[in-house]
Amino acid sequence: MKFENLRVVVTGASRQFGRSLAIGFAHLGAEVYVSARTVEAAERTHTEVMGSARDRIHAFGCDLSRPAEIRDFARRVAERTDRVDLLVNNGARWLDGLQLDDASDDQIVETIESTAGGTVLMVKHFLPLLRSSGRPDIVNMVAVRGDDDGTGSPAHEAFYAAKSAQAGFAEILSRRLRPSGIRVFSLYPPNFSTSDPRSTEWEATGSGRPTAEEKLTTQALFECVVYAVEQPRDCFIRSFHFEPR
- Asked if residue 203 belongs to a domain, the reply is yes
CA 112 from chain centre, in angstroms, equals: 16
- Asked if residue 198 belongs to a domain, the reply is yes
Residue 157's CB is within 10 A of a number of other CB atoms, namely 18
CA 234 from chain centre, in angstroms, equals: 23
> What pTM was computed for the model?
0.87
Q: How far apart are CA 174 and CA 186, in angstroms?
A: 10
- Asked if residue 2 belongs to a domain, the reply is no
Number of compact structural domains in the chain: 1
- Asked if residue 1 belongs to a domain, the reply is no
Residue 232's CB is within 10 A of a number of other CB atoms, namely 5
Q: What is the pLDDT along the chain (245 residues), one digit of tens a residue?
A: 589 999 999 999 987 789 999 999 999 999 999 999 999 999 998 888 778 888 999 999 999 999 999 999 999 999 999 999 999 999 888 887 768 888 889 999 998 999 999 999 999 999 999 999 999 999 999 987 555 555 556 788 888 899 999 999 999 999 999 999 999 999 998 766 665 555 444 444 444 454 544 567 888 889 999 999 999 999 988 998 887 66
- Asked if residue 38 belongs to a domain, the reply is yes
Under a CB-based contact definition with an 8 Å cutoff, are residues 148 and 160 in contact?
yes
Dihedral Cα 189, 190, 191, 193, nearest 10 deg = -40
- Asked if residue 51 belongs to a domain, the reply is yes
- Asked if residue 163 belongs to a domain, the reply is yes
Closest CA to 171 of 200, 201, 140: 140
- Asked if residue 130 belongs to a domain, the reply is yes
Domain span at residue 199 reads: 7-241
- CATH number of the domain where residue 104 is located: 3.40.50.720
